Structure 1
């Protein structure tokens, strides 16, 4: 079964600044590759530099962009050209026929009628093999165009090589940051038809070497009779010598076809971790495309010396350190779905990633929040708390546990002076138990994420025997109740005098809420749904609230945003009430039904969301994909499980999409998930067998699944008439506290 054939990298690319169908790029890359590639159609589009409707090709872009909102760094354009020299993006752009552009994870090809030339690429981890075919050999050349920032180019005609670096970036990076590259050709370079150009006007310098603002280069090619030129490129964040070594060690003498065979095999291995069986081809395409997206980020940032030693350039302190590094992710996005998925599919890799993020603490003094390549300090909370605690309680190894705990504990107890690292408003959070809305932006979201983060840190403290820490952090985790208004049934902003922020409108976005309003942001208490349900007025009251949320009009008021942001538009575009699946705070909302004992509603809403809002095409996602987080949400939904509370080693039960899913676990065992009496339109199940025995609980432990298990859901046409309560419900902090207080 060729799983790679189901993957469509164009998924989600039909996006613009004002409306996201994914805000993705069609990345040609290895799984978690350091060097990714994407066609560029509009450099002026900034983070939105490719759109499938443009039908213009400005070059193939070496990119490290994790999100259009974060922008790119270390980026570079490679463009074949013949005839007169054109350097500016719009001037050199060429039309292409859509059927003559092939974009796959393992391979890219495009033909450009303007230049009577085609270009192919196969990615390595930090390198790539390229092939250019010139049908008309008149003045054939390759243009290497950097972006704003200091850069360097050197054309070595005798060595058939072009080398250089770029320091282009749009965020935080050490002054010594650079992306180095070396590119070799298998044909001669014509010196008098090669040169450099400089600045925003792309003016040729008449030189074959230069360094300065936006220095690029072009190389004239001495074509063979076939018109075919093979090239290879290596990249590094450490040095030019390391870039050459990466090229030699990863590409060596491999042909494009040989390298593609390797790249394809690596993708097949990762995609084949989950093999699903079903009759709906589009569902298969969507599933494996989403799985591809979960395997792109975080980006590998470490490299290997000729001795085999694993090393990385630190964008924090500007020196080279031993050990792993992964970057280009925000923990607010990925702690919910993609990292818990790694704990089941790729536990060793997850352990190495956490070691990398612990290295960030050792190199910068703080745990990361949003990295690209260094700290961007975006989004609420310090949700690496959940990422690391979840791995720890699941027994994931391979990282310095004591140092990781020390880093989490530090930002929970110590305020950073720079306003970038750690928890914003920590002193007031410790004083009030929340963040006063009159003093802090997005106070409700930040405080709720701190409360949950404290819960997660407490889980590590418990495992490490830090009893006093455990008590302190668990007490703090319960302070979410201070933000809940029993009169309105929502989390609300509270000022430093303990008064509710007025006026209050649950449809109004912004101010104390992040990218949402009270309807979206009042449920961020995954560690204590039972406690939140009690505040609402009990299970029946919570069910009524959730039903209202899912079925009411998708109305909103722009509030403090003062304009309609894309998340508002995406929610309003579909009939799912206030359930804004386009953004992470809503991810767990349909699973709340199961968490309080009404699994049929979870089954209905999750399957409806997957069927109506997800696809494999350019408009196939209901909002920002965000580094695998939305793709992983679909994967979890398809296998009938969900990591409702990262930091607690269990999963809430959903409804399996496929007839069968077989997960090949890293320990050699398998997790089999089957749907008996399967039919595509059957979303409900009335009984579940786990390893042949009836299963009554609405959650299942990570340990049981990771040991290898067989789950058999019996699908049904109608919801099962049963009430689930007590010990059969998923974890809640309230229930744990109650059990500890029993005599």
Structure 2
């Protein structure tokens, strides 16, 4: 195992065209700042495209792997000469060209030298960024573009204070079609006085000597210096400019770039070192540690060094005894990233849950997709339930279960619109396309019918069939958490509700399909249709019953289930229109592991190995889909270890086969050691703590401090794990 796992991380993975939407810039685990370059000629939600040899600035914030344009606050661009007017979109501020041979990135650091010989070096602490700009001559300019960088703006304030400080605020105008409008405050300091200055607003014309701009969508400063090296540092806050300055003073009090970068590297080594691996080519080790790195960038810190944060109702709160987190992409992360986070970063996971529960008290509802402290209503279902249950199942079990169950149960039984707005396909009487945020839209129908009806709700709820399946998963997660909290009555109610997937199972086609309120299914419906589904189709979503796979196999018939799964997985990564797997997107994540319930463990082992080998690479195009704030990368981490959190809210792992000859997971006070002898993806024999283990399921006991798993592998399919009794558990309701 390497003492420097951060050295194996390649932050450029996932920055290629149609891959990942990650960013290569400087960030700490769950940091508030993501200091990263922005490509000039092409757009990406990650801000940067590897195949674009131009850069138009370095922004302070970014989401890793999101599917929508986001953040990108206050891009700073070093220039060798001033400009008098902004260029046409998308570049705006003059951009520069570069070659990848003059660019490097590692955890906590990014560096590039432009073709004009201007070099930029970036690093970060949790709440601050630091940059060193080196120019070919002692004539240097920095453009601070408060209106550029990513998301649209609807409020900008930026001011040069004295000769060494810039401060201000930027308010965004929407995310993923929704009305989220977070405000980021910043405090910038330079190591030398500004010699010349000017500023611009919406018209893009630079006016010399104007040091302050309060505008709507565009504005910035152009600052001139008279040295070859200019150093800059900046603190940020979602509370106030004063807090941004406080964060900067506490976390980056001096001017020691190398120390900050070294500390960032060491911080990543501490976190990445919680999983140590051996026995694979260096390229596989790079793929693994890069995936682990991407899995741990989010959630993002939202509270300042004094504990203050911006509440979901807009007021200022103070986190006492925990850190407030945001950027919680619920639907994306509950399957893979949350169990991994809870296992190796349990305190972050605990604070994430506390943040979510506190947010519900502030706003009246749990977040579905929280973005920079604001609710967006993005995606579907009620992902807070499997997130919280997953943290409880895989973490150090410090969350307040009873409080969590109470909040989740209320949302699952009482329809109560919150004060926030989310995108809707319906146009309100005032012309607005936004309605009140509801944690479970269509809940009344779901409670009365057992599903969200297509004919009544498809116009206002995205994907009624997907929504029903996600509500059933959430209900199952609530049942698990209620059981752990000692509330057997609630556990029984919600496990019964989790059987609602059967209400959408069409016995004639043997697919899960959208259904009308009168009980009829849509006529002429094709399993390849995405009607009623979100980012997928009926052939893909029919498998979305991870807590009762045995019940689904019974409904399909074992022969049909096996034949369909073989066909689905004959192609591993297609799209939402094809009757095949789409492993680059969440609904298909668990599909290869379903073989374990069909008496075909060897097929699961071979398929997962095929996916980890063929779909993931240590290159810019090395991710098979949007990374979705670490969800896809976490899938790779689990799968390459030969384990998978197949059932949301259940503290156990499906067993595949490991890529590594040895791996050690230091998790929540526990140690899980994995060893493998022999070659090939097929499991011939398995022992757990020296005893033969015939099941394809590994329960994680909270009291067990050490666990040792030994795989004996083979190059041909084996009988291990194929017995009916070897299948992972299924949790069938009585009906």
Give the TM-score taking structure 2 as reference length. Answer: 0.90
Q: Is contact 2:392-2:399 (8 Å) kept?
A: no
Corresponding residue for 1:179? 184
Looking at structure 2, the residues matched to 499 and 737 of structure 1 have their Cα atoms a distance apart, in angstroms, of: 24
**Distance in 2 (alpha carbons) for counterparts of 1:652 and 1:325:** 32
- Paired residues of 2:198 and 2:206 also in contact (CA < 8 A): no
Residues 202 and 368 of structure 1: is their aligned pair in 2 closer, same or farther, counting only changes over 3 Å?
farther
**Equivalences for 1:347-362 in 2 at 5 Å?**
347-362=346-361
Unaligned 5+ runs, structure 2: 148-152, 418-434
CA distance in 2, matches of 1:645, 1:26: 32
Query: Is the partner of 1:439 in helix, strand or coil?
Result: helix
Matched, 1:402 2:402: yes
Residue 170 of structure 1 is matched in structure 2 by: 174
Q: 2:583 aligns with which of 581, 584, 587?
A: 581
> What does residue 480 of structure 2 align with?
459
Which one is further off, 142-151 or 632-641?
A: 142-151
Which residue matches 2:539?
Answer: 519
Q: Are 2:572 and 2:611, in contact at CA under 8 Å, matched by a contact in 1?
A: no
What secondary structure does 1:96 align onto? Answer: strand
- CA 719–200 in structure 1, closer or farther in 2 if over 3 Å, else same: farther
1:574 — aligned with what?
none
Q: Could you say what secondary structure the match of 2:701 adopts? A: helix
Aligned pairs for 1:573-722 (under 5 A) are 578-667=580-669, 669-677=670-678, 679=679, 682-703=680-701, 707-721=705-719
**How has the CA–CA distance of structure 1 residues 720 and 414 changed in structure 2, closer, same or farther, with 3 Å as cutoff?**
same
C-alpha contact 2:401 2:481 (8 A) present in aligned 1: no
Deviations 1:623-672 (A, max 9, x none): 111111000000001111000002111111011001111112342x5211
- For the pair 1:101 / 2:103, whether they are aligned, the reply is yes
1:42 is aligned to 40
Partners of 2:13 and 2:159 in 1: CA distance: 37
Change (3 A) 1:705 1:632: farther
Deviations, residues 459-513 of structure 1 (Å, cap 9, x unaligned): 22223333332222122111211211233221112111111111111122x2112
| CA distance 1:202–1:341, change in 2 (3 Å) | farther
Residue 468 to residue 665, structure 1, CA distance change in 2 (3 Å): closer
Residues 50-89 of structure 1 aligned to structure 2 (within 5 Å) = 50-73=48-71, 75-85=73-83, 87-88=86-87, 89=91
SS in 2 for 1:63: coil
1:320 match: 317
Q: Distance in 1 between matches of 2:731 and 2:639?
A: 25
The 10-residue stretch of structure 1 (76-85 or 39-48) with the greater mean CA deviation from structure 2: 39-48
Task: Name the structure 1 match of 2:382.
Answer: 382
Query: Is the alpha carbon distance of 1:715 and 1:554 closer, same or farther for their aligned partners in structure 2, counting shifts above 3 Å?
Result: closer
Alignment partner, residue 528 of structure 1: 548
Q: Is the 8 A contact 2:383 2:474 kept in 1?
A: yes
The correspondence of residues 464-475 of structure 1 with structure 2, limited to 5 A, is 464-475=485-496
Alpha-carbon deviation of 1:202?
4.5
Query: Are 1:504 and 2:525 an aligned pair?
Result: yes
Residue from 416, 420, 423 that aligns with 2:440 = 423
- Give the Cα separation in 1 of the matches to 2:395 and 2:26: 33
1:129 match: secondary structure: strand
User: Following TM superposition, by how much is the alpha carbon of 1:53 offset from its aligned partner in structure 2, in angstroms?
Assistant: 1.6
Contact 2:83 2:206 in 1 (8 A): no
- Provide Cα deviations, 1:665-714, integer angstroms capped at 9, x if missing partner: 342x521101112x3xx010111011111111110112279621110000
Residue 166 of structure 2 is aligned to residue 194 of structure 1: no
CA deviation after TM superposition for structure 1 residue 433, in Å: 0.6
Contact 2:128 2:236 in 1 (8 A): yes
Higher mean C-alpha displacement, 269-278 vs 96-105 = 96-105
Partner SS, residue 360 of structure 2? helix
1:657 counterpart SS class: coil
Maintained 8 Å contact 1:443/1:513: yes
Retained in 1: the 8 A contact 2:47–2:62? no
Quote the residue 1:437 is aligned against.
Answer: 454
Taking the aligned partners of 2:519 and 2:252, their CA distance within structure 1 comes to 63
Deviations 1:17-48 (A, max 9, x none): xxx32122223201111010221113773736
Matches within 5 A, 1:720-739: 720-721=718-719, 724-725=722-723, 727-734=725-732
For the 8 Å contact 2:366–2:384, the answer to whether it is kept is yes
- Conservation of the 8 A alpha-carbon contact between 2:67 and 2:626: no
Contact 2:333/2:630 (8 A) holds in 1:
yes
More deviation, 273-282/207-216: 207-216
Q: Secondary structure at the match of 1:45?
A: coil
After superposition, the C-alpha distances for 1:60-86 in whole angstroms (9 at most, x for unaligned) are: 111233555333237111111122326
Indicate conservation of the 8 Å contact 1:14/1:51, yes or no.
Answer: yes
1:231 matches 2:228 = no
Structure 1's unaligned 5+ residue stretches are 556-566, 572-576, 739-743
- Pairing of 1:309-348 with structure 2 (within 5 A): 310-323=307-320, 324-348=323-347
Q: CA deviation at 1:408?
A: 0.9
TM norm structure 1? 0.90
Q: Residues 205 and 316 (structure 1 numbering): CA distance in 2 closer, same or farther, change over 3 Å?
A: farther
CA-to-partner distance for each residue in 1:340-365, whole Å, 9 max, x for gaps? 11222122221111111111111111
> What SS is found at the alignment partner of 1:551?
coil
Q: In 1, distance between residues paired with 2:508 and 2:487? A: 38
Please list the CA deviations of residues 556-600 of structure 1 after superposition, one character each: whole Å capped at 9, or x if unmatched: xxxxxxxxxxx448x7xxxxx701102101000110011333211
Does structure 1 residue 4 correspond to structure 2 residue 6?
yes
Residue 274 of structure 2 is aligned to residue 273 of structure 1? yes
**Range moving further from structure 2, 406-415 or 384-393:** 384-393
**Separation in structure 2 between the aligned mates of residue 390 and residue 554 of structure 1, nearest angstrom:** 26
Contact kept, 8 Å, 2:93 with 2:145, in 1: the verdict is no
SS in 2 for 1:671: strand
* Residue matched to 1:262: 263
After TM superposition, the structure 1 stretch with the greater mean CA deviation from structure 2, 423-432 or 97-106, is 97-106
Asked if structure 1 preserves the Cα contact closer than 8 Å seen for 2:146 and 2:158, the reply is: no
C-alpha spacing 1:479/1:174, structure 2 compared with 1 (3 Å): closer
CA separation of 1:202/1:610 partners in 2, compared to 1, >3 Å: closer, same or farther? farther
Which residue of 2 is the match for residue 547 of structure 1? 566
Cα–Cα, structure 1 residues 186 and 611, in superposed 2: closer, same or farther, change >3 Å?
Answer: same
Q: Distance in 2 between matches of 1:146 and 1:46?
A: 19
Match of 1:560 in 2: none
Q: 1:211 matched to which residue of 2?
A: 214
Output the CA distance in 2 between the equivalents of 1:552 and 1:57.
37
What SS does structure 2 have at the residue aligned with 1:647?
A: coil
State the distance in 2 between where 1:153 and 1:552 align: 52
| Total equivalences in the alignment | 697
Query: Is the contact made by 1:368 and 1:421 (CA closer than 8 Å) also made in structure 2?
Result: no
Query: What's the CA shift for 1:231?
Result: 2.0
Q: Distance in 2 between matches of 1:51 and 1:446?
A: 33
Q: For residue 60 of structure 2, give the secondary structure of its aligned residue in structure 1.
A: strand
